[in-house]
Chain A
Amino acid sequence: MSWFAGITQILLVLALLAAAHVPLGNYMARVFLSETDTRAESVLYRLTGVDSSSQQRWRTYFLSVLGFTAVSLVVLFGLLRLQHVLPLSNGKSDVPVDQAINTAVSFVTNTNWQSYSGETTMGFLAQMAGLAVQNFVSAAVGIAVAVALIRGLMRSNSLFIGNFWVDLTRSTLRILLPLSVLFAIIYMGLGVIDNLTPDQVVHTVTGGTHAADAAQAGSTITQTIPGGPDASQEVIKHLGTNGGGFFNANSAHPLSAPSALVNLANIFLILLIPSALPRTFGIMVGSRKQGWAILVAMATFFVLSLAAVIALETTTTTPASHAAGAAMEGRETRFGVIPSAFFAVATTLTSTGAIDSAHSSYSGLGGAVLMINMMIGEIAPGGVGSGLYGMLIVAIVAVFVCGLMVGRTPEFLGKRIGRTEITLASTFILVSPALTLIGTAVATLCPGTLDSVLNTTSAIQSSGHATAQTAQTATQLNPHALSEILYAFTSAANNNGSAFAGLDANTPFFNIALAIAMLLGRLVPIGAVLALAGALAKQTPAEASPGTLPTHRPLFVGVVVGSGFVISALTFLPVLALGPINEGLM
């Protein structure tokens, strides 16, 4: 592992993002400010009976989101449950009810938590018509909601915040689809598979790992090579910050990410839209400086988090890392420690949840940072759309406290943050921590949980500190066990979808509990954001003056980063202390 190579790769990706966010941000602003529909859109609207010129109040907009979500859930659940009778299933059986519920919720909420293994559970139809479709539209919903909030900020004396169906259609057809097509072709060129070939059993050249067993059985050594339309799904998986892998090994799978270059391209796609949306926001509200401030706040979180994870992963020594010369446990050798850390930070600071390394294998404190990334609410740069609205909410809360300190009713972009606004912003902030903490607490109370957890053996016991007696009476767990559960609920409640590895989440309890966390973690914040957009749109904006708190200066950006961090840290410190921090300090 070379420091130079790792850092160079990071800088390369960040430079490309810096270059790409300007034209993409401008383009997305044009998409949502445009008054005209494309021909394809017009046809679609005529077929579905949407009046693209009509505007919705926030309640109608939210009901549209709920309705769309409900239909998506039913369709996806149906595809999963009826797999054996539907075509193109390549022999896969129906997904069990609890797992189907979990998976449907997971993909509809842009979480893409997978309690199944792609190769063994999903047929091509479910992958293409079910999961991939949700990869597009769940991302589009996120963008639509963010745009609705932007409209709330930019409009004055208005009851309306846009039209959900138009925003959804434009996000999908004008942003996600063209980019996906372009990059899918590039990915195929880079060696990512895309076919409808069923599994192939091939004979290996050098012999598999089970050579001894095979020899004993007297048979030849074979390996099953899966096929599938992966490149087309891989792109939207990252671009839409979805993260649900075609294969169980996700972005570590050699057919999904055959090279270090694809790994970097994945990171680029993960960050592409979320880091361009602040510019879109700046243009739409008529102040690019505001967009920059949001982007800088996101970048600050990102860089700090990345630096922390790289530092922890390259310096923490364990017997395994000592033997391997680096912390290679759970990492792909073709990527290396630093690019893996880069991917891990990108996937947890967005709502992606794809993985190219096992987060469970990170050092205790490194794993804690990855969890904190999600606990902050995935706002740096966050999921497509959800990152922007999450960061704007944090900015609004920061404005609320700071605004008072300059002796005025707090204002953000001229809109007063009064009782209604702070109630909604607080509700948003409250939901994910509540779901994470309640979920984790309930899981620890369930007797079956221990069976799902991989690392139950306490390090204390194994190192002989605890007496046999205490080991019998008080189950002193390895703190890693708590980390596994905490990670699962954090990932679900924040719609991330990455797994820590180690936890067997395909149990009725985890499937249902995590589905509830994902659904509420998605829809309640969206409801709060849309209500906030409605409340803001109604206002007459106050004119900015030197007495107004400027929300584009470094000082304010610092305050946003600080308050975002402190509020999450205060919420999660106790449980982190028992889990990953405890592990890291042992």
Chain B
Amino acid sequence: MRTITAPALLQASLLGLRKLDPRTAWRNPVMFLVEIGAAITLILAIADPSRFTWAISIWLWLTVVFANTAEALAEGRGKAQADSLRASRVSVDATRVLPGGGTETVPASQLQAGDRVLVTAGETIPGDGDVIEGAATVDESAITGESAPVIREAGGDRCAVTGGTKVLSDSITVTVTASPGESFLDRMITMVEGANRQKTPNEVALGVFLSVLTLIFILVVLSLAPIASFSGAPQSLTVLIALLVCLIPTTIGALLSAIGIAGMDRLVAANVLAKSGRAVEAAGDVSTLLLDKTGTITMGDRQATDFVPLGSTTPERIAEAARLSSLADDTPEGRSVVTLAETEFRIDAAGLEAYPEAEFISFSATTRLSGIVLPVREQVTEQDGATSPAEVGAHRSARTRSTVVEVVGRTGAGASSSAAVGLAAGVAPLRRTVVKGAAKEVIAWARDRGAEVPEAATAEVERINTGGGTALLVAEAVGSSARVLGVIDLRDIVKPGMAERFATLREMGIRTVMITGDNELTARAIAREAGVDDFLSEATPEDKLALIKTEQAGGRMVAMTGDGTNDAPALAQADVGVAMNTGTTAAKEAGNLVDLDSDPTKLIDIVAIGKQLLITRGALTTFSIANDVAKYFAIIPAMFLLAFPGLGALNIMGLHSPASAILSAVIFNALIIVALIPVALRGVRFRARTASSLLRMNLLVFGIGGLIVPFIGIKLIDLVIAPLL
């Protein structure tokens, strides 16, 4: 949390003074009324000077200045960020590609949507657009703060580029999609500055409520004047104005706008760009979160989690074979098989470079398997009651048995010599083939080579698939004999801590729905493991859109993340659509929030920010209203004590004199604004809890607290000022 520094405070106070201009002040009716009151008391103080009237007038002016300072402070935080963004926008020249070929240099500010520009290494991209030709590494740190460059290329989901970012290598041709002044950067600057801030729906509603309260209190004070005179206790205008200012909800009135700006500021700090404040508020209301399985709930890559041996195969053998089959497999799945074999099964052997003569069977759509073919030196002896060709590479391990087959090409003196011997002896080398792949294909492969496939194989595959994993079979053939060795259990691993996060969300009343392209069985298993409330399997973009509409028809607010062009309709339909900054322009246009970090789990943080914004407003409103009780106990006896000594019984705080009591209430009313500025800027602490427990906690702090605090505060102020009056 950034703290409020002294220079920032000074600057904000000066800005606060400037905001006294009635032409802008009327936008906040509550504080405008205070300003009018301050002006009237000033006239009264000049016309008929008294220490009391002057003091009241000064403190009323201060009340307004404090309120304006709060707003200026909130705005000031965004200013620095806006300045740095603006710096990256400074006039860039663009190389515009002319329709007939050839290029011309124009200022970026003259680019229109549809223009094509060429950007080469070292140049700044002149405007938002899509790459239509080429690929380049781009430094997007100006926007995202992330220093690692990203790749942007024509076609696909990584084609969107943002104006103000810098091409580091290669060159790309970009079609500009945003006209000047409407770019991403422009919008971001506008937002962080809080300029032209549109009030959000709840803020408007609260404003109405506060205006009506203010109106009631105006009536109270206006009617009190004749009624008090009628009763023989006429009141001075100064006192009536002081009463009015103390009664109207100045605390929340002063801080309302600061709370809104600070809320957006928190969003910016989380590296999220909101296209409207409405979206942030809506985030607090979300009751259904649609989360993509891959990359959000799970790590995103399927990883080997277990090797299951079949028949007489030992765990070590299947691990060894699986590793071999994956040595050349550079996919994350393949790497995970190697890692698992080496870490969990202690298959400790050399890498790919140790097998110079190996041939690789790479995955193809027709065979749907991958593997390795190795020459071996000699035939195998009976082992384990089955033909067992190899115990390769295990000689350093404690589990080593008799090494009956040496794989040709092993490094190390002995190995190479024996290989050389084999080849030199002219023995036709046996070939050992190890393959892994989808169950159906591997079984067919093994059967072709005369293997008998154990029943257990299909059973095991079925078990893994229903459990949410993906089963790969591993088989090998040495010479003419083949056999299925075992199964690799690949799983999409759920990120740690997700189940707890979803449980928290559930407690807050937010349902999570996992969206996945997996089949239903797999989806169900992962959903159970991750602890989501529901899932949508084999989901197409249309399914997603339909799901959102169903949820909304059931009275639920939906939030989702997306990055692809085909996510755009769903993003637009969702109440809160968070587009990833790495996503396509279409997705970024459709969403109402853009996450610059492209972190799909951030949706959860956005919800918290939205809720915090609303809670802060509600809490300070409650506090503001509750404060009035104590102010009454200060002012009413003070007003009428002279005429009706009996009302002195209401002076439960034992305030010194009528003048000190009224002034103390006014001073408290001004100072409480200052005291609450940090709360307004930081936001009331939000804890993920049920609505009931949140209400209980906040009522206790701001409701009951709001009743008690002013009694203490006013009494203390009275003790200080009593001798001065």
Q: Are B284 and A482 in contact (CB under 8 A)?
A: no
Q: Are B692 and A550 in contact (CB under 8 A)?
A: yes
Q: Which residues of chain B come closer than 8 Å to A403, judged between CB atoms?
A: 618
CB of A452 closer than 8 Å to a CB of B: no
Q: Are B556 and A542 in contact (CB under 8 A)?
A: yes
Q: Are B287 and A543 in contact (CB under 8 A)?
A: yes
CB of B570 closer than 8 Å to a CB of A: no
Determine which of B206, B213, B230, B699 lies in contact with A559 in the assembled complex, contact meaning CB atoms within 8 Å.
B699
CB of A47 closer than 8 Å to a CB of B: no
CB of B303 closer than 8 Å to a CB of A: no
Q: Which residues of chain A come closer than 8 Å to B224, judged between CB atoms?
A: 441, 574-575
Q: Which of A380-400 contact B (CB under 8 A)?
A: 397, 400
Q: What CA separation (Å) do A245 and B537 show in the bound complex?
A: 72
Q: Which residues of chain B come closer than 8 Å to A574, judged between CB atoms?
A: 220, 224, 243, 632, 636, 639
CB of B216 closer than 8 Å to a CB of A: yes
- Known A404-B621, A407-B614: A418·B632 in contact at CB below 8 Å: no
The digit string for B180-211, where 1 denotes a CB below 8 A from any CB of A, is: 00000000000000000000011011101100
Q: What CA separation (Å) do A408 and B608 show in the bound complex?
A: 11
Q: Are A566 and B694 in contact (CB under 8 A)?
A: no
Q: What CA separation (Å) do A573 and B628 show in the bound complex?
A: 11
Q: Which residues of chain A come closer than 8 Å to B610, judged between CB atoms?
A: 407
Closest chain B CB from A102 CB (angstroms): 22
Q: How large is the interface on A (under 10, 10 to 19, 20 to 34, 35 or more residues)?
A: 35 or more
Q: Which residues of chain B come closer than 8 Å to A434, judged between CB atoms?
A: 216, 219
Q: Which of B625-639 contact A (CB under 8 A)?
A: 625-626, 628-629, 632, 636, 639
Q: Are B226 and A441 in contact (CB under 8 A)?
A: yes
Closest chain A CB from B689 CB (angstroms): 9
CB of A319 closer than 8 Å to a CB of B: no
For A430, A545, A548, which residue has the most chain B Cβ atoms within 10 angstroms? Answer: A545
Q: Are B220 and A406 in contact (CB under 8 A)?
A: no
Q: What CA separation (Å) do A417 and B696 show in the bound complex?
A: 21
CB of B232 closer than 8 Å to a CB of A: yes
Q: What CA separation (Å) do A294 and B287 show in the bound complex?
A: 27
Q: Are B625 and A566 in contact (CB under 8 A)?
A: yes
CB of A422 closer than 8 Å to a CB of B: yes
CB of B233 closer than 8 Å to a CB of A: yes
Q: What CA separation (Å) do A310 and B650 show in the bound complex?
A: 22
Q: Are A582 and B647 in contact (CB under 8 A)?
A: yes
For A397, A458, A474, which residue has the most chain B Cβ atoms within 10 angstroms? Answer: A474
Q: What CA separation (Å) do A545 and B554 show in the bound complex?
A: 12
Q: What CA separation (Å) do A292 and B667 show in the bound complex?
A: 44
Q: What CA separation (Å) do A546 and B507 show in the bound complex?
A: 6
Q: Which residue of B lies closest to A541 (CB)?
A: B555
Q: Which residue of B lies closest to A449 (CB)?
A: B230
Q: Are A405 and B618 in contact (CB under 8 A)?
A: yes
CB of A29 closer than 8 Å to a CB of B: no
CB of B646 closer than 8 Å to a CB of A: yes
Q: What CA separation (Å) do A417 and B285 show in the bound complex?
A: 13
Q: Are B216 and A571 in contact (CB under 8 A)?
A: yes
Q: Are A407 and B284 in contact (CB under 8 A)?
A: yes
Q: Are B287 and A405 in contact (CB under 8 A)?
A: no
Determine which of A407, A427, A437, A441 lies in contact with B615 in the assembled complex, contact meaning CB atoms within 8 Å.
A407
Q: Which of A528-579 contact B (CB under 8 A)?
A: 540-543, 545-550, 553, 555-556, 559, 562, 566-567, 569-575, 577-579
Determine which of A408, A418, A582 lies in contact with B691 in the assembled complex, contact meaning CB atoms within 8 Å.
A408
The digit string for A443-486, where 1 denotes a CB below 8 A from any CB of B, is: 01100000000000010100000000000001111010010000
Q: What CA separation (Å) do A553 and B690 show in the bound complex?
A: 13
CB of B619 closer than 8 Å to a CB of A: yes
Closest chain A CB from B142 CB (angstroms): 33
Q: Which residue of A lies closest to B510 (CB)?
A: A547
- Known A404-B618, A566-B625, A573-B632: A430·B212 in contact at CB below 8 Å: yes
Closest chain A CB from B60 CB (angstroms): 20
For A474, A572, A573, which residue has the most chain B Cβ atoms within 10 angstroms? Answer: A573
Q: What CA separation (Å) do A405 and B623 show in the bound complex?
A: 11
Q: What CA separation (Å) do A573 and B615 show in the bound complex?
A: 29
Q: Which of B542-560 contact A (CB under 8 A)?
A: 552-557
CB of A217 closer than 8 Å to a CB of B: no
The digit string for A106-142, where 1 denotes a CB below 8 A from any CB of B, is: 0000000000000000000000000000000000000
Q: Which residues of chain A come closer than 8 Å to B702, judged between CB atoms?
A: 405
Q: What CA separation (Å) do A414 and B507 show in the bound complex?
A: 18
CB of B622 closer than 8 Å to a CB of A: yes
CB of A586 closer than 8 Å to a CB of B: yes
Q: What CA separation (Å) do A460 and B220 show in the bound complex?
A: 26
Q: Which residues of chain A come closer than 8 Å to B639, judged between CB atoms?
A: 574
Closest chain A CB from B627 CB (angstroms): 10
Q: Are A400 and B506 in contact (CB under 8 A)?
A: no
Closest chain A CB from B277 CB (angstroms): 13
CB of B265 closer than 8 Å to a CB of A: no
CB of B421 closer than 8 Å to a CB of A: no
Q: Which residues of chain A come closer than 8 Å to B554, judged between CB atoms?
A: 543
- Known A404-B617, A543-B555, A582-B647: A441·B287 in contact at CB below 8 Å: no
The digit string for A416-443, where 1 denotes a CB below 8 A from any CB of B, is: 0111011100110110011001101110
Q: Which residue of B lies closest to A586 (CB)?
A: B646
Q: Are A444 and B699 in contact (CB under 8 A)?
A: no
Closest chain B CB from A51 CB (angstroms): 31
Q: Which residue of A lies closest to B211 (CB)?
A: A426
CB of A188 closer than 8 Å to a CB of B: no
Q: Which of B679-725 contact A (CB under 8 A)?
A: 686, 690-692, 694-696, 698-699, 702-703
Q: Are B219 and A433 in contact (CB under 8 A)?
A: yes
Q: Which residues of chain B come closer than 8 Å to A585, judged between CB atoms?
A: 644, 646-647, 649-650
- Known A408-B614, A474-B232, A542-B555: A570·B511 in contact at CB below 8 Å: no
Q: Are B284 and A577 in contact (CB under 8 A)?
A: no
CB of B50 closer than 8 Å to a CB of A: no
CB of A296 closer than 8 Å to a CB of B: no
Q: Are A546 and B509 in contact (CB under 8 A)?
A: yes
Closest chain A CB from B110 CB (angstroms): 42
Q: Are B202 and A546 in contact (CB under 8 A)?
A: no
Q: What CA separation (Å) do A414 and B285 show in the bound complex?
A: 12
Q: Which residues of chain A come closer than 8 Å to B612, judged between CB atoms?
A: 407
Q: Are A547 and B618 in contact (CB under 8 A)?
A: no
- Known A407-B610, A582-B640: A547·B231 in contact at CB below 8 Å: no
Q: What CA separation (Å) do A406 and B695 show in the bound complex?
A: 6
Q: Are B694 and A437 in contact (CB under 8 A)?
A: no
Determine which of B225, B284, B632, B647 lies in contact with A408 in the assembled complex, contact meaning CB atoms within 8 Å.
B284
CB of B228 closer than 8 Å to a CB of A: yes
Q: What CA separation (Å) do A476 and B507 show in the bound complex?
A: 61
CB of A581 closer than 8 Å to a CB of B: yes
Q: What CA separation (Å) do A489 and B554 show in the bound complex?
A: 47
Q: Are A482 and B227 in contact (CB under 8 A)?
A: yes
Closest chain A CB from B169 CB (angstroms): 46
Q: Which residues of chain A come closer than 8 Å to B703, judged between CB atoms?
A: 562
Q: What CA separation (Å) do A423 and B231 show in the bound complex?
A: 35
CB of A196 closer than 8 Å to a CB of B: no
Closest chain B CB from A300 CB (angstroms): 17
Q: Are B227 and A444 in contact (CB under 8 A)?
A: yes
Q: Are B510 and A545 in contact (CB under 8 A)?
A: yes
- Known A418-B205, A444-B226, A573-B632: A546·B647 in contact at CB below 8 Å: no
* 15 pairs, A vs B, C-beta closer than 8 Å: A397-B209, A404-B202, A408-B691, A438-B219, A441-B227, A476-B231, A546-B506, A566-B629, A569-B629, A571-B216, A574-B243, A574-B632, A577-B636, A578-B227, A585-B647
Chain B positions near chain A (C-beta within 8 angstroms): 201-202, 204-206, 208-209, 212-213, 215-217, 219-220, 222-233, 243, 247, 281, 284-285, 287, 506-511, 552-557, 610-612, 614-615, 617-619, 621-622, 625-626, 628-629, 632, 636, 639-640, 643-644, 646-647, 649-650, 686, 690-692, 694-696, 698-699, 702-703
Q: A407-B615, A573-B636 are in contact. List 5 more A-B contacts (CB 8 A).
A: A419-B208, A542-B287, A547-B508, A574-B224, A581-B647
10 shortest interchain CB distances as A-B pairs: A547-B509, A404-B618, A407-B611, A545-B509, A444-B230, A476-B232, A426-B212, A405-B618, A441-B223, A585-B646
